[in-house]
Amino acid sequence: MGFVKAEEFINHYMRVNREIKKLCTRKNEEFKFNIFIFYHNSVDSICTEHILHFHKNVKRDINIFSYGIEKKEDLLNFFKKYEDVYSQNKEYYRDYFYQVVLIGMGSHMNTDANIYTLIEDFFTGILAKNYVGYLKFFVIDNKRPFHEIFESSDRWDLVLSEIEMSDIMGIYGSSNSGNPENGGEDLRNDLGSDGEGTGKKVQGKKPRGGKKNTKNHKLQKYYNIVKEENKCMCLMIYPFIQCVSEDDSSAILFISSVSLISYLKTDQITYEYYNKEIRNLHNDSLNICNGHFISFDSERGLLPLLSFISLNESLEIDERIYIYDHKNVRNTFNKIRTMCHIEIKEFTGNFRQLDLKKQNEILIKLKNFIKIIKPLNSLAWKRRTYVLYNGDSFYFLLVLIYIYINRAKKMDSYLYNCLKTSDFLFNIFKDRLKQSEIYDKLIEKHLHKNAASYLSVLIKKIMESNKKSITIAYNFKIFLDIFQTSQNSYTHPFELKFISNMFSSFQSYCNEKYKTYHLVVCHINDSDDTILYGFTPLNKNDYWPLIFSKIAYSNSEQVAYDTLTDVNTMRIRRNDFKFILSEIKDVFRSILRYHHKRQLDGEDTTDVDEEEEVEEVEEADEVEEVDEVEEAIEEEEAIEEEEVIEEEEAEEVEEAIEEEEAIEEEEAIEEEEAEEVDEVEEAED
């Protein structure tokens, strides 16, 4: 049948096969029971792989080899690398793998029958013919990727929970009910000869094509939607792991909690289910007296598996999920090791073995280092990243929406061009889709799927949000949109910008002319934090950076405002929301008054300038007239002066003439008197 219960998988298959051991003894061959695990680089897959190492049978008699997979090419590269080594040197390499486990790979990699066949052919090829019959493959996946290979091959089994197994038995029973004589036989063949579901199959008659198609259709329909209680792979395996010590028991509790909370952070499970399972894990922890991991420093949450492995291994895992570009991992690790002042032994050894004081020092330094590394916002930031981040989905969705509006509604080309010119990522994004590599060709397919899922959750949040309008001034309103979300989900500035755009589009009926300012209030569940995001429509003044900076300056103890992250985002305490909102109103009004006054002052200044110009012209005319009058007066005065001078000169000439005439008369009189005297003298003589 191709299905096995999780309990049976742990108890029956995660142990040494005694038949293989006896066969090795008869052939005088060294016996090693090896299991190979491929796991997807997601939190739940990593936790599920790690929890298997704590099973008591694995610790004693079994060797586990693990390999992280992100995409199909990783598998192909692995096969290419090791095929020659194993196939050509069978006598030297005795790493026989009798069981292969695939964790979280079926749905994430779009696995098809070809991949299953490649895996089977590779491990069959490196195994001696005497042992090929014992080879088994198990698939553990949170999407339950049902494939016909589970029916057609005795080697492949899909691991299920007990409830799922009962449902599957019901589907098989209903499909075989049409032929009661063969139905019981088919069901027994599926369950095994002992009727207890050991996973061993007995050759029997294959069901007819129609019956098989009906059964496959029912199975695929059953797994179209996986119930939340069946999603967490680690939680499905956890109850059946038998630990050697209480320390190991506390460790698997912690790992299961990390795995479970990863689903809550991505909104794949409800709070009711999460609280129920966390309560069950808590009850299990009450039975442990001296567990090392029942209480732990919150700083360890930076690297969830740091408590169980070395710092080097923990960073290697997490860099493929969260932080680093894999091409620069070695340099980054050396930088971290130097920063923490630890030797290579301490870096690669078990972190728990370090002194507790040393552990705390490293955790504090790691927190400060990782805190300054910003999340990757789009797949264009770094070439060849491992993960398509959540930001890619909404960015891609935003591009599709703008393109659709531009084509369908013949929107003003200015808005469409604004997206292309203002955001250089758009052009880089288009270039990447044209690349010839498979990785780049699959990007759009992944993003379409992710964007659809992202949008469905987002629209639900928008519909459930609380909307209000706030009057700031006459004919000026802003809209307040309040919603709740989990930690690190829909809280990134780029996501908040997109959400705000959605709010604004709904409010304005997708008409750019009627879009207005929005204040998005994001309350974080199970936290005292609240994130505020100020949205400004295109072609309007963005007042939010000025508003937030003023509020942050005057309320520094109540507000966290990081201008390096985003100038339109501010983080506050939930209890301070009403106070901060009133502050925002006051600051917004004062800024609007200031800008309005500047506009009025600008108009007044223009009028005054015109009046001054007129006055200057008039004054210039008056000055010119005065100058002309003065010149005329001066000319008249000059003429008068000349006339006076001429008159004076004439008078002087006349006086001189009169004086000369007087002198001449006096001289004539004197001459006459002299002549008379002479005549008298002569007469006397």
Domain endpoint, select from 584, 603, 634: 584
Is the pLDDT score of 11 beyond 80? Answer: yes
Q: Is residue 134 part of a domain?
A: yes
Least confident of 221-230, 313-322, 445-454, 463-472: 313-322
By residue count, the chain amounts to 685
pLDDT tens digit sequence for 590-600: 888 887 787 77
Binned at pLDDT 50, 70 and 90, residue 208 comes out as very low
Q: Furthest-apart CA pair in the chain: how many Å?
A: 215
d(Cα 144, Cα 106) in Å, to the nearest integer? 8
Q: For the domain that residue 549 is a member of, what is the CATH number?
A: 3.10.310.40
Least confident of 272-276, 287-291, 297-301, 305-309: 297-301
Q: Is the Cβ–Cβ distance between 7 and 238 less than 8 Å?
A: no
In which domain, by residue range, is 204 found?
Answer: 3-233
C-alpha pair distances (Å), 518 with each of 437, 479, 504: 41, 5, 7
Least confident of 74-83, 529-538, 676-685: 676-685
d(Cα 26, Cα 20) in Å, to the nearest integer? 10
Stretch 539-566: mean pLDDT = 80
**SS3 state at 177:** coil
CB proximity list for 210: less than 8 A, separation 6 or greater: none
**Residue of 187 and 133 predicted with greater confidence:** 133
DSSP string, 627-670: HHHHHHHHHHHHHHHHHHHHHHHHHHHHHHHHHHHHHHHHHHHH
Binned at pLDDT 50, 70 and 90, residue 97 comes out as confident
β-pairing verdict for 529-535 and 569-573:
antiparallel
Instruction: DSSP letter for 543, please.
Output: -
Give me the phi and psi of 554, to 5 degrees please: -90, -15
Distance, C-alpha 189 to centroid of its chain: 50
The pLDDT assigned to 604 comes to 60
Q: Is residue 183 part of a domain?
A: yes
C-alpha pair distances (Å), 662 with each of 658, 665, 684: 6, 5, 33
Q: Is residue 55 part of a domain?
A: yes
Q: Is residue 268 part of a domain?
A: no
The pLDDT assigned to 298 comes to 46
**Residue of 98 and 539 predicted with greater confidence:** 98
Is the pLDDT score of 94 beyond 70? Answer: no
**Residue of 494 and 19 predicted with greater confidence:** 19
Binned at pLDDT 50, 70 and 90, residue 40 comes out as confident
Give me the phi and psi of 276, to 5 degrees please: -65, -45
Least Cα distance to 204 among 218, 187, 219, 216 occurs for 187
β-pairing verdict for 476-485 and 518-524:
parallel
Number of domains in the chain: 2
Q: Is residue 670 part of a domain?
A: no
Least Cα distance to 491 among 390, 408, 402 occurs for 390
Least Cα distance to 528 among 555, 560, 494, 552 occurs for 560
The pLDDT assigned to 259 comes to 80
Q: Is residue 479 part of a domain?
A: yes
β-pairing verdict for 156-160 and 136-140:
parallel
Q: Is residue 533 part of a domain?
A: yes
**Bridge partners, residue 572, by sequence:** 530, 559
Domain endpoint, select from 584, 611, 644: 584
Stretch 648-672: mean pLDDT = 68
**Residue of 603 and 160 predicted with greater confidence:** 160
What CA dihedral angle connects 218, 224, 229 and 235, to 10 degrees?
A: 100
Q: Is residue 509 part of a domain?
A: yes
Least Cα distance to 476 among 567, 543, 552 occurs for 543
Q: Is the Cβ–Cβ distance between 518 and 479 less than 8 Å?
A: yes
**Residue 310 in tokens:** 């070395």
Domain endpoint, select from 553, 584, 615: 584
The pLDDT assigned to 206 comes to 42
Is the pLDDT score of 363 beyond 70? Answer: yes
